[in-house]
Every structure is written in structure tokens, then in C-alpha cells.
Chains A and B, each alone.
Chain A
Amino acid sequence: KAGVTQTPRYLIKTRGQQVTLSCSPISGHRSVSWYQQTPGQGLQFLFEYFSETQRNKGNFPGRFSGRQFSNSRSEMNVSTLELGDSALYLCASEPALALNTGELFFGEGSRLTVL
């Protein structure tokens, strides 16, 4: 079974630009969560999508947005990039709520550098 796939793995943008990151969850998983990790920091929760609906949202400005498609694939978008947005962006998937065990399956992340 394929794992969680994130694309692109690496990207460089300049301040003011926008970026879209993609996450394909494990087949059959319906929940996708996104996290931001800056150097030396823990994971900061961005948002979670389940069945195309945002279920939870972290404390990030409105420049950070996301969506989920009917096939459970998810995208996150960051507009008007700032230097502080440079980070590793991770997504994690888990099965449908009824099957939740608390085990999140993470992708390898998309490393964004803002110049």
C-alpha cells in the first residue's frame, strides 16, 4: 500500500508570491491534516479536512488555506508569502473516524524556502 505522498518535495519562492502544496493520503484514508514545522520547532497544526470539510483549524492567519477533493487528496495554499513561512510542511492521513486508532501516517513533507 502506497504511503502518504506530498508534492513538491522542495520549492523556493520569493516574498509576496503564493504557493500550493499537494497531499495524497493513503488509499481509503479520509482525513488529512496539515502541519508547519520551522527549524528546531515542533509541529504546528494548520488544519484538518475530512470528507471535503474542514474539521479543525489551528491558529494561523487567513493567508493559509486548504481544501480537500472528493478523492481525499488535499491541497494547502499560502498567499502573500513571508520569510517566516519558510518551513517543512507535513501532511498526515488517517482512516475514517470510526476506524480511528490515533495513528497518523505522515508524508515526507514539502520544504518551502521563501527568499
Chain B
Amino acid sequence: LAKTTQPISMDSYEGQEVNITCSHNNIATNDYITWYQQFPSQGPRFIIQGYKTKVTNEVASLFIPADRKSSTLSLPRVSLSDTAVYYCLVGDPGTGGFKTIFGAGTRLFVKA
């Protein structure tokens, strides 16, 4: 299973773009990169998933370079409600293993 490394915490201000980078040097060919968001006392919520290049949805964008050894979650124009913990998971969705390693995540604190 690919191990991931993320910053422990980040601070931002409302209206700014926030980029959270996740390193996964030993990512395997069949692995996808999936990001989750967790608010206090709630279960995590799926944000976005990608395999290569760029993926965008209504919430975020995910940038994955050609070597796939890292990925960047981009949150455009954050608001106070984006204060949460963000987890990067790497694994093959076709097997059960990808969900076993969540790590500590990145605590994003958005200030007014």
C-alpha cells in the first residue's frame, strides 16, 4: 500500500486559493488518489478522485503530475466553512486495501 505524506496543518484566509500537496512516492500502477474532508465530530466525506493529470468538480481540483508521485488538492476561494481536516488516500479502488490507511490528514484553518 502506498504511504502518503501531507502537511500536518495549514492556515489560510477567506477568499484565498488553498493548495494541499500529498506525497506518495511508491504509488502503484493501479492506484488512484482520493481525497476526503472531515469536519469535527463527523465522518469524512469524499471530495475528489483522480488517476492522472487534472480532475475538477464543483468542490475542488486535483492536480497529478506525470510521475504520479505527488498530488495537489486545490480549493478555490475558501470560506470559513472549509475549515476541516483533509485526507489523501492512495490505493486501488478495486481491492479492499486502499481504505486501510487514512493517516493524520492536513488540518486546514480558514481565518476571516
Residues of A bordering B, CB below 8 Å? 4, 31, 33, 35, 41-45, 48, 50, 55-56, 58, 88, 90, 92, 94, 97, 100-109, 111
Contact = CB atoms under 8 A, between A and B. Distances in A.
B96 A31 contact: yes
Contact of A104 (B32, B99, B103, B105): B99
Contact of B96 (A4, A43, A48, A108): A48
A22 to B, nearest CB: 15
Contacts of B94: 97, 100
Nearest to A101: B93
5 cross-chain pairs, A with B, having the tightest CB-CB distances, nearest first? A106-B43, A102-B93, A43-B102, A42-B104, A45-B100
A55 B96 contact: yes
A107 B97 CA distance: 20
Contacts of B45: 106
B34 A45 contact: no
Contact of B99 (A41, A88, A92, A101): A92
Given A55-B96, A56-B96, A45 B44 contact: no
A108 B96 CA distance: 22
B87 interface: yes
B43 A41 contact: no
Contacts, number: 69
Nearest to A102: B93
Contacts of A35: 102
B21 to A, nearest CB: 17
Interface in B17-62: 32, 34, 36, 41-46, 49
B49 A109 contact: no
A106 B91 CA distance: 18
B58 to A, nearest CB: 15
17 contacts: A33-B99, A43-B44, A43-B102, A48-B96, A55-B96, A56-B96, A56-B97, A88-B41, A90-B43, A94-B99, A97-B94, A100-B93, A102-B49, A105-B46, A107-B43, A109-B41, A109-B42
